[in-house]
Amino acid sequence: MSAHRFFAMVLIFAAACGGWMILGQTLEFRTATLGDSLSAQVETLWGPPNVVQAAPTVTTADPAQAQLLASDVHARFDHANRYKGLLWFSTYTVKFNATYTVQVNMNEKLPGHTAAFTFDPPANVRRLDDLQLTVNGAAVEPDRDRTGRGAITVTLAPAEKPYTVAVSYSTYGRDRWSYSPSPTEGGPGDLIRDLTVTLATNFTDIDYPADSVSPTSPARPEGDGMVAQWKYSNTRSRMQIGLEMPKRPNAGPVAARMSFFAPVSLLFFFTAIFTVVVLKKISLHPMHYLFIAAGFFAFHILLSYLVDIVNIHAAFWICAAVSVFLVVSYMRLVAGLRFAATVVAAAQLVYLVGFSYAFFWTGKTGLAVTIGAIVTLFVLMQATGKVNWHAVFAATAPQRPTTPPPLPE
């Protein structure tokens, strides 16, 4: 191995890296452009990506005479991942049902005063189905909304016993749902008394938004899903209570990340093959490494188009089979069937197929790649500890002919 050949291998690797960077950026751009256009269409059908339901307010001329004593909130989520235009969207239907206990006391200084119970439905939702409002079990007609935001308001007269106000509806959304216990702006929020929020799902992969509080007790399985509950007696908080819907990974971002990571995969493959070549004294030309890099690149460029037609997992294994066949069948002609079927095939399965498949393990990709890199480093260090690298990279002098010239006649 001369220095010139080694430098040629470096140039081949750099050129392959440039191709993968361009391919990854193209996939990201295509996915972002498609996502922006389709997101608006899905929002028209299913509502906003974050539905926020705020707690009701009770207002009166004398704030001390009206209080929200208790809140019992229930929400049931029917989640479904919907496929539209090559992208997956996390949609859900929520059935909301809340019961509020409101106390309106008599005030001798303000005879005839009343309290206004105002409930604001989520903003930007497309529709509310089965909207019902009851006071002490009897359906009532809400006051006319003069705020322009679709608020539901009922007038409550002073009474000795607390009112029981119930609100229920069904609506649609995407990605996330939240309940804001305190409707005030800034600060720690109003005093929240006797709050219970129970959220039931039809999925088990339950998660909570980053800016929300976790349940006061661990979520428990129930039926085909989970049930999470929050219970507070007296608290002040601006934190929201909510759920993050499970998302099915889209093919475009996964394929783009595989493309950006491909240079690392090829670097490990080249290092492993180069080490075996040195140990077994197999002669490989830089052109051989060029065709190997092309076989690796074939995996990613074929995947970028195939994921638009078939499932990403099926596309992954089809592309892996094509790439392995290209490289192994080529190296069979270069260095023999045994070397191609054992060393080359094993290295490609580990560094191309295995490392790329790690991107399907959300949150564990980095750990899987790191473990593979450390194991590879250990094997290579042990195998090449006694290799004389000076001799490996020494310039090979041209051999002089040993046959003497013919005698003159």
Residue 397: pLDDT over 50: no
pLDDT tens across 218-269, in order? Answer: 899 988 899 999 998 887 777 789 999 988 877 778 888 888 988 988 888 8
User: If you average pLDDT over residues 180-202, what whole number do you get?
Assistant: 76
pLDDT tens across 330-367, in order? Answer: 999 988 888 888 888 998 998 888 888 888 887 777 78
Q: What angle do CA 306, 307, 311 make, to 5 degrees?
A: 115
Residue 396: pLDDT over 80: no
Tell me the percentage of the chain whose pLDDT exceeds 70: 88
Q: What is the pLDDT of residue 187?
A: 47
Residue 398: pLDDT over 50: no
Q: What is the pLDDT of residue 224?
A: 87
CA distance linking residue 241 with residue 180, whole number of Å: 6
Identify the band that residue 178 occupies on the pLDDT scale cut at 50, 70 and 90. very high
Torsion sign over Cα 370, 371, 374, 376: negative
Structure tokens at 162: 């607390």
Average per-residue pLDDT in the chain? 83
Identify the band that residue 145 occupies on the pLDDT scale cut at 50, 70 and 90. low
Q: What is the pLDDT of residue 275?
A: 83
